[in-house]
C-alpha cells in the first residue's frame, strides 16, 4: 500500500499563505488553504506592488522618530493613531521605540537583510513553479528629493544599504526628467535604487499561484476560522463558521493581522498591530510613469499597474475592525499631485481601498515553529513587506516542516521573542 501524503492546513490565502501552500505541495503535502475572502483579496490585493529587497531598515528608526510628533498632530499625515485605540497599541509602540536604540536596530537590520537578500532567487523559483514571471517588472524604482539637503539627510540610510551590496546611484535633475518626463520640473535630484521592482498586479500574482495550487490537487475552503484547539502539545482541530469542525495534521498560521487571535488560542502570545494602509487606483490617470516612484517628503509610493496608477501609503493605528477613514485615501491624490502635476482629478472610476498590514514592533516577521505545539508553524507579521517576503517565507516554512536545513538563521523570527 502507498503511504498517504502528509497533510497541511494553512489559515490565510494571501501572498504568504499561498506561497507556503505552493512550496508544501511541491514537497509532497496534501494542502488545504482556509480564508474567509478569496485568495489575494486582503493586503495582497491593495499594496503598492513592490518587490523591494533593498528594504533593510526598521520601519521605525531614529529618522522616523524625529518626524513622528509632526505626523501625529496631522490627522491625515503619514502616520496617525485613533486615540481610543492608544491604550491597546501603547505596549507595541513602546517596544518599537526601544528598538530604535543602535544596538537593537543593528540586529533588526541584519534580520531584515537575511530575508531580503534571498528575495529575487525565491521569486524566480516560485514564478517558475506557477508561470507568473511575466508579472514582475524589473525596472528599478526612483526616490525623489526636493532639495540637496533632503537628499543628504538620508545618507545614513544609504550607507547601511551599501553594506549589504545595495547600490543607490544619485540621479541629477536633468536625468530625472529624461527618465520620467511627467514628474514636476523642480525636483533637485533622485536616487536610483538597485532592485526595487514591482508586480504589475499583486492580486493577479496570488490568483495565478492559487490556480497552480488547485490544478495540482490543493483545496481551497472559503470560510472563517472561529477557533483553534489543541490537546496540550498538538493542534487537533479548527472550528469553521460554516463547515464546523475540521481535524488537522499540520497547521500553518498565515492570517495576516488576525493571526494573533489564532496564535493566542494555540498558546502563543504575540505582539501584533494592524498597520492600516490606504490606496487609490486611478484608471487612465492622465500621466505615465515607468516604475515605482517614492518621494522623500511623503510616506507612500506611486506604481504603474495594469489596472491604472496606484497611489498607496500611510500608516493608521486603529485596530483591525474600526471603520475606514476614506479621507486618508483621498489625501494621497493631493499629496502625489505635487510629484505628477498632470494627474487627472478623482471621479467615480477611481477605486479606494484600506488594508491591514500585520506589523511587529521590530519590523521582523514571525516565521517558524510554535514554542508550545509540535505541529504548528507561524508565518505572519511581515508589515510592509508581505509581498516582498512572501515567496521566501513559503520556502522557509516548507523547509522547516520537512526538516531541510535553512540557509539563514531563523532565531530572529521566533514566535516567542517578545
**Residue 405 located in a structural domain:** yes
**Residue 132 located in a structural domain:** yes
**Residue 348 located in a structural domain:** yes
**Residue 1 located in a structural domain:** no
**Residue 418 located in a structural domain:** no
pLDDT computed for residue 193 by the predictor: 79
Phi-psi region of 383 (alpha: psi -120 to 50; beta: other; left: phi over 0): left
CATH number at residue 120: 3.50.50.60
Give per-residue pLDDT as tens, 321-344. Answer: 999 999 999 999 999 999 999 999
Q: Is the pLDDT of residue 1 over 50?
A: no
Which contacts of 343-346 are long-range, i.e. CB under 8 A and separated by 24 or more positions? 343/282, 343/285, 343/286, 343/287, 343/309, 344/282, 344/284, 344/285, 344/286, 344/287, 346/280, 346/282
Secondary structure tally for the chain: helices H, strands E = 13, 21
Q: What is the mean pLDDT of the chain?
A: 93
Give per-residue pLDDT as tens, 180-199. Answer: 999 999 999 999 977 899 99
219 phi/psi in degrees, rounded to 5: -120, 135
**Residue 61 located in a structural domain:** yes
**Residue 272 located in a structural domain:** yes
Give per-residue pLDDT as tens, 342-368. Answer: 999 999 999 999 999 999 999 999 999
Q: Could you list the residue range(s) of the whole structural domain that residue 323 is in?
A: 7-413
Domain count of the fold of the chain? 1
C-alpha cell at 138: 524589473
Q: Is the pLDDT of residue 99 over 90?
A: no
Answer whether 0.85 is exceeded by the pTM.
Answer: yes
Confirm if 291 and 304 have CB atoms less than 8 A apart: yes
pLDDT computed for residue 79 by the predictor: 79
**Residue 2 located in a structural domain:** no
d(CA 88, CA 156): 33
Q: Which of 32-36, 71-75, 130-134, 240-244 has the lowest mean pLDDT?
A: 71-75
Q: Look up residue 413 and give its DSSP letter.
A: G
Amino acid at each position: 500500500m502507498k503511504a498517504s501524503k502528509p497533510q497541511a492546513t494553512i489559515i490565510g490565502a494571501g501572498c504568504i499563505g499561498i506561497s507556503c501552500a505552493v512550496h508544501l505541495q511541491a514537497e509532497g503535502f496534501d494542502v488545504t488553504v482556509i480564508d474567509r475572502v478569496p485568495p489575494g483579496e486582503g493586503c495582497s490585493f491593495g499594496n503598492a506592488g513592490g518587490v523591494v529587497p533593498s528594504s533593510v531598515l526598521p520601519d521605525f528608526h531614529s529618522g522616523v522618530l524625529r518626524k513622528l510628533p509632526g505626523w501625529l498632530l496631522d490627522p491625515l499625515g503619514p502616520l496617525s493613531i485613533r486615540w481610543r485605540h492608544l491604550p491597546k497599541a501603547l505596549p507595541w509602540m513602546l517596544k518599537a521605540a526601544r528598538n530604535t536604540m543602535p544596538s537593537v536596530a543593528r540586529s533588526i537590520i541584519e534580520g531584515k537583510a537575511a530575508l531580503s537578500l534571498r528575495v529575487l532567487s525565491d521569486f524566480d523559483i516560485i514564478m517558475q513553479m506557477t508561470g507568473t514571471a511575466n508579472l514582475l517588472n524589473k525596472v528599478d524604482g526612483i526616490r525623489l528629493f526636493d532639495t540637496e539637503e533632503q537628499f543628504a539627510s538620508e545618507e545614513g540610510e544609504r550607507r547601511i544599504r551599501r553594506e549589504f551590496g545595495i547600490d543607490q546611484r544619485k540621479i541629477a535633475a536633468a536625468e530625472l526628467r529624461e527618465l520620467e518626463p511627467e514628474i514636476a520640473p523642480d525636483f533637485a535630484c533622485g536616487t536610483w535604487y538597485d532592485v526595487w521592482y514591482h508586480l504589475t498586479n499583486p492580486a493577479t500574482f496570488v490568483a495565478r499561484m492559487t490556480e497552480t495550487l488547485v490544478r495540482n490537487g490543493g483545496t481551497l475552503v472559503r470560510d472563517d476560522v472561529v477557533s483553534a484547539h489543541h490537546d496540550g502539545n498538538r493542534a487537533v482541530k479548527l472550528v469553521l463558521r460554516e463547515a464546523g469542525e475540521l481535524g488537522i495534521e499540520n497547521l500553518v498560521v498565515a492570517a495576516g493581522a488576525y493571526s494573533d487571535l489564532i496564535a493566542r488560542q494555540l498558546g502563543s502570545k504575540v505582539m501584533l498591530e494592524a498597520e492600516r494602509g490606504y490606496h487609490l487606483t486611478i484608471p487612465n490617470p492622465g500621466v505615465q510613469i515607468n516604475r515605482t516612484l517614492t518621494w522623500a517628503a511623503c510616506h507612500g509610493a506611486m506604481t504603474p499597474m495594469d489596472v491604472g496608477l496606484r497611489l498607496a501609503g500611510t500608516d493608521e493605528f486603529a485596530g483591525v475592525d474600526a471603520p475606514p477613514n476614506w479621507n486618508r485615501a483621498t489625501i494621497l491624490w493631493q499629496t502625489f499631485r505635487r510629484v505628477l502635476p498632470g494627474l487627472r482629478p478623482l471621479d467615480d472610476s477611481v477605486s479606494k481601498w484600506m488594508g491591514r498590514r500585520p506589523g511587529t514592533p521590530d519590523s521582523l516577521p514571525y516565521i517558524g515553529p510554535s514554542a508550545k505545539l509540535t505541529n504548528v508553524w507561524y508565518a505572519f507579521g511581515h508589515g510592509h513587506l508581505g509581498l516582498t517576503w512572501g515567496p521566501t517565507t513559503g520556502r522557509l516554512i516548507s523547509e522547516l516542516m520537512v526538516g531541510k536545513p535553512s540557509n539563514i538563521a531563523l532565531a530572529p523570527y521566533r514566535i516567542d521573542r517578545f
